[in-house]
Structure 1
Amino acid sequence: MKKIIYSSMLLFMTSIGFSQETPFLNDAEIRMLINELSGDRSFEHIRVLTQWHRDSGMDGYFKAADYVIEEAKKAGLEDVKFIEQPLGGPNYTAISAELWMTEPIEIKLADIGDHALYLSDGSHDADVTAELVWAGTGSEEDLKDLDVKGKIVLVSGYPGEAVNNAVYAKGALGVVCYGTSESKNPMDFPDQLAWTRIPVTPPSGKKGTFAFNLSPRKGEQLKKVLQTNELQDIFATGKATRGGKVVVKAKVDTEIGEAPGRTGFVEGWIRGSKYHDKQIVITAHLQEEQGSANDDGSGCGNLLEIARTLNKLIAEGKIERPLRDIRFWWTDEIYSEYRYFRDFPEEPKKMMANLHQDMVGAKQSVGSRIQHLIYAPHSITSYLDALFESVGTFVIQTNNPFITAGRMGGYPRPHSRPIYATRGTRESFGARFVPFFNASDNMNFIEGAIGVPAVGLINWDDFYIHSSDDDLWQIDATQLQRNAFIIASMAYYLGKAEADQTQLLLAETYAQGSKRMANDLHVAYQHIQKGNNPELDWKIADIIIEQGIMRELRALNSVKDVVGYGESSTDLIEAYSDQMLIKENTLMEELETNYKAKYQVRRVPNTRLTDEEQAANKKVPKNNPVLDEYFGKRKSYVAGTQIHSTMRMEVFNFVDGKRSYYDIYKAVLAEILAAGNWYYGTLTLSDVVRLLDANVESGALTLKR
């Protein structure tokens, strides 16, 4: 029976391998979604959202949430509401803020009526006129011999250090800073306003201060006025003036509430007809700076458009109501999900998958940005990655030019099945699949203590993120529509999939897993070829294959979450799992051949545990079962350890009450090596032990006895 299943599986995979499609949607379904989804409608939502400075708890955040609530209702979502959550600090909103140079000539330098980023978040009320002095970077060294008491300091870079060293330590009145977002070269972005902030709560006994933020060009011009006594017309006022001394006037009006404040997120539903404990959660985040058209106005606009599209197709009878609930969240980035799961720890058990969009509207020719399609990490690799890769690959193949298919093969040019918005570009879809990184809301779901598979979309590298440049001019409605198609297609498929999809899901998951295992074998080969320690080289190569097979068995077993636990589905999963175990034997034989040839030996060494490994193998951690305590007590970083932040998260994700410290180390090591040290850095067992021990001590974890 299992041989027959395996043969049919190979035939199935071969039959779909040469068509430009995804087996998860038929041709009519693809046309239906392409026809209805509108990047232009998404763009119009972004146009509204960009007007508000909408950091956590700000007045602009709540205005954006109100807009989304209204539009979500218009899109046909049910039970739309704002779920209020506590904000650690006070609610903060800047009402008005202006910075003027009054001597040697009157020039307005900054006004938040022009852009909110001219003022650093956290600034307090001010109405002062004072001399401006240059203070370098604002470091203690740069301020050592400066008298800044009663003055305002000008610094390059972010304002936090200057606020502490100049204002709170030496009596300055406030700060004027300039720089670029994420420390990019100011010569490349001379007119960019970076998003900056200072602590809203001053040190005990100190009065709150302010910081204005200028572009690099304007900051350097101001610095030049300070540092020369010659006649000059630096600001092009039409009047030459003598520099050497600058006086500025700062006026700031803010509203600062009492801590804790309030924040929250918007939720809406497409209620399923059958299953309510296998929800598909689609997310984007509202919280960002003024503008933030791409990060993440794009995801928020697309969520509204996906909701409209699915509800319209349901209303028109073109698709059935999904069997599963589809849940839409517009969040306060990362915070909302963690807070919600801590407050309602039973809710994640009702969730089957998370589909996340963050920065999905980039005009890719502006800044040469690439859309990253982010797999789940190895701790929770599942059927979802196979679905994601299939649909994403379809969009990549049909929205990029290929000379063989187009000019020589008769397919339409330049794109064979284009997804274009009316007011979007006709650019290609520059996209690639990448290993997991923990930079947006999808990370909350894949937490080991939560256990919901998640994938996400983020374009990178982005020169405009967290700055005044992240605005409508660099948004492409076409790219919005393509990314919306990927997420809408996945939600549509998962909404209706049942036991009849077992074969398809298993075949695609197995095929994708086979590609991952081929990469694992290649990595193991390379490790042996570059190595010079025979016993250690074999041990690590063996770990790579061992952990890869365990990953793929978990992925195959995850299909049960979609198709259920019926006898026929269970038998199929068992058959595919048996084939994966056969593959393990084959891979190990191939690895042995490689090893023996490298070291000119007749047999591979027996793997023996060192004393350190034996000690780590005796410790089996498990999570604190109370989610609020687990997240509240967890130490994500321990001084002296050198683990990449994403892999620190994976260390926690592999904690399940069954794996030992050493098992966790092996799993994370294999994941690092599969992607490459350049991507995730390096890992030592001692660092894993220190991280886990610290969390046992904090109470986030306990050791099984």
Structure 2
Amino acid sequence: MTEKTSPGLADLTGLVGGIHQDIDAREAMRQVARLVEFDRYQGSSGIAAAADFVADEAERAGLADVEVLSFPADGRTAWWTFTAPAAWTPRGAHLSVVGGPPLVTYPAQPYALAANSAATDGRAPLAVAQDPKWPPGAVVLVPSAADLDGELFARMRAEGASGFCVTTHPDRHDQVGRLELPATSGLFGFSVLPDQLDELRNAERRGERVRVVVDIDTTPGRMPVVVARTPSGSRSAPDACLIGAHLCHPAPSANDNASGVAAALAAGRALARRSLRRPVRFVWAPEFVGPAAYLHQTIEAGLPLPAMAVNLDMVGEDQRRCGGPLVVEHSPEYLPHFANAVVEACVRALPPAARSYSGVVDCDVWAWRTTPFVGASDHAILADRSIGCPAVQLGHWPDRFNHSSADTLDKVDPAELRRSAAIAASAAAVVATAGGRDADRIAELLTRWTARRMTACLPPTDDPPARARLTRRRHYGLDALSTLRAFDASERVLDRQATLLDGLHRTLSAAWDDDTATAVPDRPRGPSLRRAWPGPFNLRALMGAADEKDHQWFLRQLTVDRGRFYASAMALAQSIDGTADARDVVRVAALDSGIPLEPEFGERFLAAMTGAGWVHEVTAGTAPERGTS
């Protein structure tokens, strides 16, 4: 195989165009088609088989040092606060009204069986969730996923229910959604279509019973993590970039996340053919817990972390069918780095699918957006303050088929898969080849990117903290420039770019009226908050450590708006820097996430963290609010 030399930032359009041409979309789709056949539960034989398949494909792609790392799947071993999945492989399940044909069957009906369901084989009475009393061993009929809350689970345990059936998509008659039970719940669950639930309700009214069979293999197994690296790049040099994609989720889960796994393989194939100064690392693992185990092992061994990371999660969506654009989720604001600017530049440099009538303007029919850091996938582990590896995510949102049986191969667009793989590979190639003049070009690119972000804060705006955000973005740009010293950027170039950002800040600051520049008065300062939990933030573990009152509050917030609550929790936890008090933590979290956090909500969340022992308060004096001028 002939090795190619990357042009780097000297010709970014040429680099991205060349890598885009190297991405074999047909091969990637073949891999997606194979992956959707595996039930990829985290502690299952299915994910072990999928990992072996990925390792074989990585070797075929020309990657080096391919290995399937094996971690316990015992439900007990922990890496920081992330606990290993329990061994759980479903062999089959069905539910029928006694005397009738099977009504719900698994695996014929994907996603029908709740993950971690308990094994059973027998007959049971039916009960409606709203009934004041259930018969012993009842299968409870739940009208919607919103009703499947902590209170109902507590009642099922207290009254000895054996399991439940619920409609996760009451308005859809062609798909069911994912359910996940705690490994020790002792319950089974079925995700059913609305007409299936109606049939069960009718059976309950007639006093009929159901026959339920759930066949589970809990033989101790392994949690696999597949790792590889590019063949070129000095082995003594730290990894330039880590490209990751989570391997788990039940079949079919085509876009979430078979598409990400295949895109990472495609990126690996393209990079394996290129001459790189530094290696690029690849990691395929069960979501959250896999990267936690891998990074824990890496840090324990004293090995260096990569310079940056790109996470691929839900990257193959057919935008018209699934409903969402490609989203570039930035690495967090507390980790200033050039990664965001490089990834965005690679998106902009993709070959256009079409041009305007005159040929002057690109006229692509696909869309992309950027968002602040949320951390709802593996990049959160890398980018956590305790780890400190800048990590950008590529994905799609919204996706009307996400976490449902309708996330099938026909929802994957080969062209979108190719674009995503090309972006990740191109960004990694830039960092893997950067040095000297290339690092200077990254500095110039970073300054332009920062200038766009600063200019976006200009008034008039309906964003009250815009001026504070302007200043924070200037500081981010200046600090990010300094990271390029590790790549031999010229001090003269770095100084010039810093001067440009300082001048732009002065110019933009003049756009505000003088009264908005009034200094914020001193206020009584509360105790500083310090992290007391080990390793990366883990909302699920925090909820498990909270007392019952706080646990129920968490559950209510998740029921109201799961995505917003998760993003708010992540922003608040990551804004705890050891010096800020609760009010400062809430304000900084709102600035960096873009979420208008109410002080009462933020302080309530932080109080719950303190009560769980995850945050320590350290008495402080009086100080002005920080970062507002």
SS in 1 for 2:513: helix
Taking a change above 3 Å as real, the CA distance of residues 282 and 371 of structure 1, as seen in their structure-2 partners, is same
Match of 1:611 among 501, 507, 524: 524
Task: Write the distance in 1 (CA, Å) between the matches of 2:213 and 2:463.
Answer: 62
Match of 2:216 among 227, 245, 254: 254
Task: Write the distance in 2 (CA, Å) between the matches of 1:590 and 1:164.
Answer: 55
Match of 2:176 among 169, 172, 193: 193
> Is 2:606 the counterpart of 1:691?
yes
Matched residue, 2:46: 60
Taking a change above 3 Å as real, the CA distance of residues 684 and 334 of structure 1, as seen in their structure-2 partners, is same
Taking a change above 3 Å as real, the CA distance of residues 289 and 693 of structure 1, as seen in their structure-2 partners, is closer
SS in 1 for 2:458: helix
Confirm or deny: 8 A CA contact 2:571 2:590 kept in the other structure.
Answer: no
> Is 2:442 the counterpart of 1:505?
yes
SS in 2 for 1:611: coil
SS in 1 for 2:238: strand
Confirm or deny: 8 A CA contact 2:241 2:431 kept in the other structure.
Answer: yes
* TM-score normalised by length of structure 1: 0.75
**1:290, distance to aligned residue in structure 2 (A):** 1.3
SS in 2 for 1:409: coil
**1:282, distance to aligned residue in structure 2 (A):** 0.2
Match of 2:492 among 555, 559, 571: 571
Matched residue, 1:213: 191
Matched residue, 2:567: 646
Confirm or deny: 8 A CA contact 2:127 2:204 kept in the other structure.
Answer: yes
Taking a change above 3 Å as real, the CA distance of residues 668 and 166 of structure 1, as seen in their structure-2 partners, is closer
SS in 2 for 1:339: helix
Q: For 1:328-364, what per-residue CA distance to the aligned partner results, in whole angstroms no more than 9, with x for missing partners?
A: 0001101122233334326674310101111111112
Match of 1:296 among 224, 243, 257: 257
Confirm or deny: 8 A CA contact 1:651 1:688 kept in the other structure.
Answer: no
Confirm or deny: 8 A CA contact 1:448 1:652 kept in the other structure.
Answer: no
Task: Write the distance in 1 (CA, Å) between the matches of 2:536 and 2:346.
Answer: 39
Task: Write the distance in 2 (CA, Å) between the matches of 1:662 and 1:153.
Answer: 44
Matched residue, 1:671: 592
CA RMSD for the aligned pairs? 3.5
Task: Write the distance in 2 (CA, Å) between the matches of 1:660 and 1:97.
Answer: 52
Task: Write the distance in 1 (CA, Å) between the matches of 2:292 and 2:409.
Answer: 30
Taking a change above 3 Å as real, the CA distance of residues 692 and 120 of structure 1, as seen in their structure-2 partners, is closer
SS in 2 for 1:352: coil
Matched residue, 2:157: 168
Q: For 1:305-334, what per-residue CA distance to the aligned partner results, in whole angstroms no more than 9, with x for missing partners?
A: 2212222xx3xxxx42x1111110001101
Task: Write the distance in 2 (CA, Å) between the matches of 1:167 and 1:687.
Answer: 32
SS in 2 for 1:439: coil
Taking a change above 3 Å as real, the CA distance of residues 161 and 111 of structure 1, as seen in their structure-2 partners, is farther
In structure 1, what residue type is equivalent to 2:131?
L
* TM-score normalised by length of structure 2: 0.83
Matched residue, 1:560: 485
Confirm or deny: 8 A CA contact 1:272 1:325 kept in the other structure.
Answer: yes
> Is 2:26 the counterpart of 1:40?
yes
Matched residue, 2:625: none
In structure 2, what residue type is equivalent to 1:556?
L
**1:510, distance to aligned residue in structure 2 (A):** 0.9
In structure 1, what residue type is equivalent to 2:321?
V
Match of 2:288 among 334, 350, 353: 334
Match of 1:353 among 300, 308, 325: 308
In structure 2, what residue type is equivalent to 1:388?
V
Taking a change above 3 Å as real, the CA distance of residues 576 and 695 of structure 1, as seen in their structure-2 partners, is farther
Matched residue, 1:429: 366
Structure 2 unaligned regions, length at least 5: 1-6, 76-84, 558-563, 621-629
| Residues 534-613 of structure 1: pairs in structure 2 closer than 5 A | 543-561=468-486, 563-564=487-488, 569-593=490-514, 595=515, 605-612=518-525
687-696 or 65-74, which deviates more: 687-696
Matched residue, 2:357: 407
Confirm or deny: 8 A CA contact 1:193 1:213 kept in the other structure.
Answer: yes
In structure 1, what residue type is equivalent to 2:115?
D
**1:386, distance to aligned residue in structure 2 (A):** 1.1
Structure 1 unaligned regions, length at least 5: 1-20, 203-207, 228-243, 416-427, 529-539, 597-603
> Is 2:268 the counterpart of 1:307?
yes
Confirm or deny: 8 A CA contact 2:16 2:423 kept in the other structure.
Answer: no
SS in 2 for 1:195: coil
| Residues 85-124 of structure 1: pairs in structure 2 closer than 5 A | 85-87=71-73, 88=75, 89-103=85-99, 106-124=100-118
Confirm or deny: 8 A CA contact 2:12 2:346 kept in the other structure.
Answer: no
Matched residue, 1:441: 378
Q: For 1:625-660, what per-residue CA distance to the aligned partner results, in whole angstroms no more than 9, with x for missing partners?
A: x95599799958984899954344344445556667
Task: Write the distance in 1 (CA, Å) between the matches of 2:375 and 2:387.
Answer: 15
**1:456, distance to aligned residue in structure 2 (A):** 0.9
Task: Write the distance in 2 (CA, Å) between the matches of 1:382 and 1:306.
Answer: 22
Match of 1:324 among 270, 278, 290: 278
> Is 2:141 the counterpart of 1:154?
yes
Task: Write the distance in 2 (CA, Å) between the matches of 1:118 and 1:631.
Answer: 27
**1:374, distance to aligned residue in structure 2 (A):** 1.2
